[in-house]
Amino acid sequence: MEIIQTLLATVVTLGILVTIHEWGHYWVARRCGVKVLKFSVGFGKSLWSRIGKDGTEYSVSAIPLGGYVKMLDEREGNVPEHLSSQAFNNKPVLQRIAIVAAGPLVNLIFAVFAYWLMFVVGVSAFVPIVGSVEQGSVMDRAGVPAGVEVVQVDGYPVRSWDEVNLRFASRIGESGLLSIAVLNSASAVPKVYNVALKDWNVDIENESPLSAMGIQPYRPEVEPILDHIVPGGAAEFSGLQVGDVVVDVDGVSIVNWMALVETIQSSAGQALAFSVRRAGELRVLKVTPKNRVLEDGSVQGVIGAGVKPPVWPEGMLRTIQYGPLDAIGVAYDKTLHMVGLTLDSIWKMIEGAISVKNLSGPITIAKVAGASAASGFEPFISFLAYLSISLGVLNLLPIPVLDGGHLLYYGIELITGKPVSEKIQEIGFKLGMALLLSLMTLAIVNDVMRL
């Protein structure tokens, strides 16, 4: 069932983004008087198609990893003389630029719309209150205390951990001072701390920018109360029940759920004496955690039991919501920030400040699409907006084969007054294709390694 959900989420996600991208090319081409021969969502064998009143063939194809708009073009075949004026290659260079740029730009416009919709409906977020600061971390050295609310990072207001994390991410690979403004319950005036960074880096595969800074968000204390038991697990076999409160294990007091988890994980295959309180009585049960092998080959203990969800204090969860007009500006700023972060990440990857291991391909996209769809409307729309921005920005890069490569050629033509020679374009196409295939291969290898 989970696989089917992931596949459906992936097809829907890519279908939406590819359709709006190609629709951008199509719509502007039609406005410029170019005859569109085919509008296809997907590649390969056509699963469904029909001829519209405008003579365009509309098609849905088997491989949902892209799409294309095929236009009348004298470079791709013979064009009847009476249709010559409708050929793409015969249009003025500014019109060709508009047609090619329309696809990526529509992706960026769609991202603004998606964020606008999110902010109008309302975004639920945890107030960014620092739970703890890791000893020896950059935040600890700067003197940032626990228990304060983060209100600004580098002068930018932040209202959620997501916003804090993104601001931290923009400083990966950099040196200098990062400013963080915080509020505590005793003062209404923010206090600013300057955090010294020196080639600050993050192992994005294993940690977030937040944890790399040494910050753990506040979370309410989670009591060691069992809320569900997995059938067939060690907990069920030993006689543990829903509602049991774990008091100690092998005589060592259990103060919270994390202490219990750490004890279980470090005791794979070992018999443990659980003291539990049940209906006011204290009972001792023998529990032997089963082995779970991790990716790195190490072994953890598991018993197959879940915790009772904690109760969050009032005011710790806020809803970020705007009216329809105000949300336009906020959505635009959010899109602009994400575009800048994407470009910055690409440049830092070229410099080597960010590892190429962070490149992701279709497998990771499928996993994230499935997970975000399962999590609800807000995460799915947010992921859709982010992916649309990535698609738009990447397509505008000046790499032959991509839209940005064509724009580079047309830009040269606009300046020089004559088109780039077919031979140079062919060489560029081969180099661009080689680069693109290399990046795709690397992304897929990274995906497989993450599995």
Tokens of 284: 């001792």
How many C-beta neighbours within 10 Å does residue 20 have? 18
CA distances from 260 to 223, 244, 271, 311, 422 (A): 10, 13, 14, 19, 68
Phi-psi domain of 92 (left: phi exceeds 0; alpha: psi -120 through 50; beta: other): beta
Contact yes or no for 127/93 (Cβ under 8 A):
no
Write down the catalytic residue from 22, 81, 205, 262.
22
Q: 62: which 2 tokens? A: 């088997």
DSSP letter, residue 269: T
* Calpha distance 247→244 (Å, rounded): 9
Question: Going along 308-447, which residue ranges are E strands?
Answer: 317-320
Q: Which residues face 249 on adjacent strands?
A: 252, 274
> Does the annotation count 22 as an active-site position?
yes
For the sheet with 272-278, list strands across it.
Answer: 252-253, 245-249, 272-278, 281-287
Structure tokens at 138: 């950059």
CA dist 254 and 247 (Å) reads 6
State the Cα angle at 97 between 350 and 56, rounded to 5°: 115
Q: What is the CA radius of gyration of the chain?
A: 28
**Across-strand partners of 384?**
none
Q: Structure tokens of 380? A: 């799915």
Using CA atoms, how far apart are residues 21 and 19, in angstroms rounded to an integer?
5
Query: How many whole angstroms from its chain centre is CA 415?
Result: 38
Handedness of CA 167, 168, 171, 175 (dihedral sign): positive
Distance CA 131, CA 258 (A): 15
- Active site residues per annotation: 22
